Structure 1
Amino acid sequence: MAAVQILDKIYWVGAVDWNVRYFHGPTYSIRKGTTYNSYLIVDEKVALVDTVFGPFTAELVENIKEVIPLEKIDYVVVNHIESDHSGAFPEIMKLAPQARVLCTQKAMEGLKKHFQGDWDFQVVKTKDTVSLGRRSLTFIEAPMLHWPDSMFTYVEEEALLLPNDAFGQHIATSYRFDDQADINQIMDEAGKYYANILWPFSRLVARKIEEITAMGLKIKMIAPSHGIIWRNDPMRIVNAYSRWAKGEACKKAVIVYDTMWESTGKMANAILQGLVSQGVEARLFKVSVSDTSEIIGELLESKAIVVGSPTINNDMHPVMAPFLTDLVGLKPLNKIGMVFGSYGWKGGAVETVKGRLQEAGIQVVEQQPVAKWVPTKDELQECYHAGQWLASQI
């Protein structure tokens, strides 16, 4: 992709990764690819805000060259040191050795350790400002959104917020702006992104939004480090983050289960029917054939999670473990949970799953349908009624 002007003398110079399918190792699937957004601000002085993932360094360099020679860059702003944003940093600094690096203290320490080098650093803090001439950059520290080094950059004269990983989405597209793309798809990807990356830091997200509001910053455009740029309705994503950070949910439930000989599967379907009969939107996922990242995304705006497992070796089925481990780490807010399962010799799965949900901070209800061997019609009816009862709690 070529450089794209997003405002007067402000350019997107990043890269589109059409083929990436996993992020953070195999933990987060991104079926639609992603972008690595980098921004060039040309004024009396020139600033490059963030770089790109290392394999796309040449593309970044060519995009910058379309606008200016690299030796004219005065500042390289590093909002976040994770490799998808800093991978090209060493090469950019070789090509622009005159540039000063603007970043937080934690980012400076991280860059030195990541790349075993040293550069002309200027450590910045919240409300520090650097003038480029007609425009200025104001910095807002954002620790744990989502790394300790993270910060936002704000261009006051354009009411432009450059928040790095906040407000982003993993989606590869030839479009750069929200008014060009399918907004429903973009919001779905933004929700999946929030749930899989930022959910553990929801209280910090809420505080940061309050802080920026208290600073009185006008925001006409939000340009994150992944996905599209919010120029038509930037408050749409801010308001969504506010809801997600508070744990607001819809009348919706997600059922996650696995089964060996279909006993637990039959129970899952009966619970689903009970929920649906009361007007609750419900989604059913067999975990061994489902994408955990997609399940987590569906949970974001769901009030209830229902988890079922057969017992094997006095414990839950092993395929449930990765999903539940993810859930414990993500700490979803304001969810209620129900557990169910089947067994043959001796139970154990239900209590294990219940414990994991409680570790995740989920309020687990007392009702927990259990069936020995194959569930009878009466036991499936109990599952159906359990779904109806759970619907009344949503």
Structure 2
Amino acid sequence: MNFKEITDGIYYVGVNDRTTALFESLWPLPTGVTYNSYLVKGSEKLALIDGVAIAECEKLRENIASQIGAKAPDYLIINHMEPDHSGALNVIRSFFPDITIVGNAKTLEMVRGFYGITENVMKVADGDSLELGGMTLTFRLTPMVHWPETMMTYVSERNTLFSGDAFGCFGALTGGIVDSETDIEPFIPEIYRYYSNIVGKYGVFVQKALSKLSTLKLEYICSTHGPVWHEQIPMVSGLYDRMSRYEAEDGVVIVYGSMYGNTEAMAEVIASRLAENGVKKIRMHDASRSHLSYILADIFRFRGLVIGAPTYSNTLYPPVEALVQAIKTREVKNRIISTFGSYTWAPQAVKRINTLLEEGKNVSADITSVEARQAPDASVMEGCKTLADEMARRLADK
């Protein structure tokens, strides 16, 4: 890793993880993930900002030693308690027995609950500061982004924000650490995927956090996952702002399940007709093959959503049911939605999709559904074209 001084007195000591296959045992990591940790050096004290997963604790110790030698950090600041950051907590304490753990009240409750630690801790509240000597750590509580204890730490002397999981993304670093020294293009889709998979339910709380941070001058955002943001702060903060308001760019996501090709044939007609109407950004997902992680990322990115499935055991085809439940969980809104499907003798799939959507918060199908009995005939395919025409028209209406 390119361990380096990000700005005067602030150092990156995080680790790459290229071996874990699934984040939270759910979300694919084809290019890995980082667990970012940082050192802030004052003239009097030294703070370690955030930890790493327990499997990476020895790497963290080596990285810290590469910057400060045999010295020990005085403080460990915990912005977020999820175990991919706090998992090495007891090991860090064994490395540095005198280190003081700093967190808010909810953080320290979790420190006790996860790790049984009650001693040598310091409780901080919103707006509190900790002086290191020429470096001031100010704590901003940002609950539910995306756990109730989450907070951020700001160093005013360096205009640097340690943002916890906010502004993070999947993907291990490829040599460079700050965005100005690496190719950020591979990380942009991973911002969408990380937000939609992990943070997506909590848009209202992300908006509150952004409002709280709006008065801060920011030259660096140091998240716990992904690159350090410097030149691209407007881009990444803009994406988080739009996604947390459930705003999206024009385009259509078509997600379908199909056992024997009939529902797939309807999806193909819808996609072709959308293209005839001038819609260029069309993303198609077979729910049985595309991982939910990537489907959700596209749903958070694009305004149009078309969901199709066959009836299965008198209810909804399971991969599509899982998708619609995930949409409900994330309280997705501000989308133009339509549904379609097929059945042999029991017309349940489309009904079930629509019911689940209506149970969600501010989500419903607002373009007439199309359904085929057995194989789709010419009239059904015309219905699919009409659905696509209406979707294209609605996308064009701003």
- Asked if these proteins are the same fold (TM beyond 0.5), I'd say yes
Residue of structure 1 in register with 2:337 after alignment:
337
CA contact (8 A) 2:354 2:364 kept: no
Instruction: For 1:359 and 1:104, locate their aligned partners in 2 and report how far apart those are by CA, in whole Å.
Output: 35
State the AA in 1 paired with 2:319: V
Q: Which string of whole-angstrom CA distances, capped at 9 and with x for unpartnered residues, describes residues 20-60 of structure 1?
A: 2211122x222211000000111220000011000000000
**Which runs of structure 2 are paired with 1:202-281 in the superposition (5 Å)?**
202-213=203-214, 216-280=215-279, 281=281
SS of 1:162 mapped into structure 2: strand
Quote the offset at 1:70 in angstroms.
Answer: 5.8
Structure 1 vs Structure 2: percent identity of aligned residues? 31
Alignment of 1:185 with 2:186, yes or no, is yes
Q: Structure 1 CA distance, aligned partners of 2:330 and 2:148? A: 17
- Where 2:147 maps in the other structure, the secondary structure is coil
1:364 corresponds to which letter in structure 2? A
The Cα offsets for residues 354-394 of structure 1, whole Å up to 9 and x where unpaired, read as: 11222333231251011111111232122012111111112
The structure 1 segments of at least 4 consecutive aligned residues displaced by more than 4 Å after TM superposition are none
Instruction: String of CA shifts for 1:100-143, please: whole Å, max 9, x gaps.
Output: 11101111010111112323111111110111001100000011
Deviations 1:210-257 (A, max 9, x none): 1211xx211000010001000223122112211112222121111111
Residue in structure 1 matched with residue 75 of structure 2 by the alignment? 75
Alignment partner, residue 368 of structure 2: 367
Give the TM-score normalised by the residue count of structure 2. Answer: 0.95
1:4 deviates by 2.0
What is the identity, as a one-letter code, of the residue corresponding to 2:289? V
| Aligned partner letter, 1:247 | Y
Rounded to whole Å, the distance in 1 between the matches of 2:246 and 2:68 is 45
Gaps of 5+ in 2: none
> Secondary structure of 1:367's match?
strand
Alignment of 1:378-389 (within 5 A): 378-389=379-390
The 1:45/1:95 distance shift into structure 2, 3 A limit, reads: same
* 1:138 aligns to 2:132 (yes or no): no
Structure 1 portions without partners, runs of 5+: none
| Paired residues of 1:101 and 1:120 also in contact (CA < 8 A) | yes
Deviation at 1:189, TM superposition (A): 0.9
Q: CA RMSD in A?
A: 1.4
Render the CA deviation track for 1:51-82: whole Å, top value 9, x for unaligned: 10000000000111112246531111011111
| Structure 2 residue aligned with 1:125 | 125
Counterpart Cα distance in 1 of 2:232 and 2:313: 53
Separation (CA, whole Å) in 1 of partners of 2:144 and 2:321: 26
Alignment deviations for residues 148-167 of structure 1 (CA, whole Å, 9 cap, x no partner): 11100000000000001000
* Structure 1 match to 2:85: 85
Map residues 159-198 of structure 1 onto 2, 5 A cutoff.
159-173=159-173, 174-198=175-199
The correspondence of residues 22-101 of structure 1 with structure 2, limited to 5 A, is 22-26=22-26, 28-43=27-42, 44-69=44-69, 71-101=71-101
Aligned residue pairs, count: 391
Equivalents in 2 of 1:179, 1:99: separation in Å?
Answer: 33
Structure 2 counterpart of 1:149: 149
Give the deviation of 1:322 after TM superposition. Answer: 2.1
Secondary structure at 2:180 match in 1: coil
1:315 aligns to what? 315
Report the secondary structure of 1:25's partner residue: coil
Q: 1:35·1:226 contact (CA, 8 Å) conserved in 2?
A: yes
TM-score by length of 1: 0.96
Instruction: Identify if the C-alpha distance between structure 1 residues 319 and 243 changes in structure 2 by more than 3 Å, giving closer, same or farther.
Output: closer
Q: 1:64, 1:70 within 8 Å by CA — same for their partners in 2?
A: no
> 2:20, 2:378 → 1: CA distance?
46
Contact 1:316 1:349 in 2 (8 A): yes
2:306 corresponds in structure 1 to 306
CA distance in 2, matches of 1:48, 1:60: 11
Find the residue that maps to 1:40 and give its secondary structure: strand
